[in-house]
Structure 1
């Protein structure tokens, strides 16, 4: 089994996912509401909203949408995206890029379990945990 992260935005999914592609690399695809069977049921202003986006790079799969339930979208601290990197260099690069215009919650440091670790909240309010463990 595999768990994939699925993010929900309120009209800025394309911007966010493009940002994540710039930070992490990979292939990014979008399906808009206007290009789907839902198009006829949705208001004209939503035609360019993202129904489904996927960012793929190796085993990394990050999915997202602009489709919000009837309840308002509320960002909280109950969801984080955990990114395990293959090198210190990649970890530092991703951390710096994801932290741009965001907030560093825990600076990168070597932990008691031997990993280089840090946490941040990106400019879209999403929480990230970044980890590089040279022992793995």
Structure 2
């Protein structure tokens, strides 16, 4: 079945961000630097330790990211929505990702389930959902 994998761009702190997301969400993290990639010879030497591609997979969650964005603006026009398996999971993810960030709407019961959203310390917007008719 088709699905959406989020791809995030960072201005040089991709390793830090993806490591933080792994600490919050668990899973398996793969990081490939420019120097380790087939593109190494086509990139400036000072880019060698920047992340060319990374992926974090935890259950049904997949995040991919890179340091390859020269015009970085934190993702203010979008949210990464995690549809959780339980309220406990929702609260765990929410609380961890909120560290150093800003809670926009605290976790609360809503007619369609339990929801909350925040902007993490890297400026990425996250929405969390559990229950109701929208549950996948």
TM > 0.5: yes
1:9 counterpart residue number: 10
| RMSD after superposition | 1.3
Q: Distance in 1 between matches of 2:61 and 2:85?
A: 12
Secondary structure at the counterpart of residue 37 of structure 1: coil
Question: Does structure 1 retain, via aligned residues, the 8 Å contact 2:98–2:120?
Answer: yes
TM-score by length of 1: 0.93
Count of residue pairs the alignment pairs up:
133
Alignment pair present for 1:44 and 2:45? yes
Q: Distance in 2 between matches of 1:134 and 1:17?
A: 30
What is the correspondence of 1:49-88 to structure 2 with a 5 Å cutoff?
A: 49-69=50-70, 72-88=71-87
Question: Does structure 1 retain, via aligned residues, the 8 Å contact 2:74–2:122?
Answer: no
Q: Distance in 2 between matches of 1:76 and 1:68?
A: 12
| TM superposition outliers: structure 1 runs of 4+ over 6 Å | none
Q: Deviations over 1:89-134 (max 9, x none)?
A: 1111110000000000001100022x11000000000000011116
Q: Deviations over 1:34-84 (max 9, x none)?
A: 001211122222101001000011221110000115xx2112421210011
TM-score by length of 2: 0.93
Q: Where does the alignment leave 5 or more consecutive residues of structure 1 unmatched?
A: none
Q: Where does the alignment leave 5 or more consecutive residues of structure 2 unmatched?
A: none
Give the stretch that moved more between structures: 36-45 or 22-31: 36-45
